[in-house]
């Protein structure tokens, strides 16, 4: 009886000790709300990039520097002639020449500013290198003048073989090529007949015409030596098969002659000796004789339907107001 009591008491004591130990362990353990350390991510760490990265949704503690982009010029931008944002300069847009600009252009080439008198009192022109030179019966070239840049334009001629009269000054020759190219495109058959003539050649021509027709008639249809535009290298006589490639007034009534009168100025030429202006030019109407003077001035003269003499008179009056 006593042994059972003792055994039961021992078991009870042991049970109480176990319960007491568990209670102590629970009392001193860490709270369940303690932060949990996240396990390392299995995703690879991105390598640094020289390019700016996109900020996370929360935003970085310091502002991210963005690259400064230079503005670019679109291919469709129209050239303005001013520096572009990238520093390049586009070719300027060619604007139409205004009358005021033409006046300024010709101011230095006015006839009254460009001459000298020889020992005989004749007026000798001095702006021989200019496209705006005025040569007529009152204003002459010297007997020794020869243009320095004579060349043969690549156009069809009414005759074969080489000849000085195939020549023109270079700028005029290039303009003649442009004129003939446009004529061919419009199915107009033109041929060059006579360009540059020296002082000596013109002297021979005038003398021959004078012997055949008399000096008075010859003076209306051909120039005296020194008074011919052909010596400047800026003039060319043009004809067509419909006129027999002759230099005759009826050329002006042909399809080719009408086309020439309408389109010559587009390439820098004027019909120098107009119909009804004989008293001003001193020469009969010559629809075949074209004179190079540059596109802007040629168009202005043609639109005004005046002679080169009248045109310069107007410019002179404007400048000298």
Any idea where the domains of the chain sit in the sequence?
147-306
Q: pTM surpassing 0.85? A: no
Is the pLDDT at 168 greater than 80, yes or no?
yes
**Mean pLDDT, rounded, for 241-261:** 97
**pLDDT tens-digit profile of 179-227?**
999 999 999 999 999 999 999 999 999 999 999 999 989 998 899 999 9
Report pLDDT for 321.
83
CA-wise closest residue to 226 among 163, 138, 285: 138
27: pLDDT strictly greater than 90:
no
Q: At what angle do helices 170-185 and 255-263 cross, to 10 degrees?
A: 130
What's the residue count for the chain?
321
Per-residue pLDDT reduced to its tens digit, 37-94 = 444 444 444 444 444 443 333 444 444 444 444 444 344 344 444 444 444 444 445 5
Indicate the pLDDT class of residue 295, thresholds 50, 70 and 90.
very high
Q: Which residues contact 83 (CB under 8 A, 6 or more apart)?
A: 89
CATH architecture for residues 147-306: 2-Layer Sandwich (3.30)
């Amino acid at each position: 009886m006593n042994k059972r009591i003792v055994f039961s008491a021992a078991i009870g004591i042991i049970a109480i000790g176990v319960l007491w130990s568990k209670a102590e362990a629970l009392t001193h353990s860490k709270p369940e709300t303690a932060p949990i350390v996240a396990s390392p991510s299995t995703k690879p760490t991105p390598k640094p990039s020289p390019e700016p990265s996109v900020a996370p949704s929360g935003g970085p503690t310091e502002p991210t520097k963005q690259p400064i982009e230079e503005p670019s010029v679109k291919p469709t931008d129209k050239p303005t002639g001013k520096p572009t944002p990238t520093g390049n300069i586009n070719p300027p847009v060619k604007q139409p020449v205004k009358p005021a600009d033409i006046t300024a252009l010709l101011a230095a080439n006015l006839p009254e500013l460009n001459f000298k008198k020889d020992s005989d009192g004749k007026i000798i022109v001095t702006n021989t290198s200019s496209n705006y030179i005025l040569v007529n019966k009152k204003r002459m070239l010297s007997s020794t003048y020869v243009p320095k840049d004579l060349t043969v334009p690549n156009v069809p001629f009414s005759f074969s073989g080489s000849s000085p009269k195939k020549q023109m000054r270079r700028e005029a020759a290039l303009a003649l090529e442009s004129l003939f190219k446009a004529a061919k495109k419009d199915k107009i058959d033109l041929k060059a007949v006579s360009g540059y003539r020296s002082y000596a050649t013109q002297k021979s021509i005038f003398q021959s015409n004078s012997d055949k027709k008399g000096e008075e008639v010859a003076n209306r249809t051909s120039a005296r030596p020194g008074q011919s535009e052909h010596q400047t290298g800026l003039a060319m006589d043009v004809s067509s098969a419909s006129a027999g490639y002759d230099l005759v007034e009826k050329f002006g009534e042909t399809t080719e002659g009408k086309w020439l009168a309408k389109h010559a100025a587009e390439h820098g030429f004027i019909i120098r000796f107009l119909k009804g202006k004989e008293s001003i030019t001193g020469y009969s109407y010559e629809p075949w004789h074209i004179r190079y003077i540059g596109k802007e001035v040629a168009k202005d003269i043609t639109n005004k339907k005046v002679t080169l003499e009248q045109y310069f008179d107007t410019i002179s009056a404007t400048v000298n107001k």
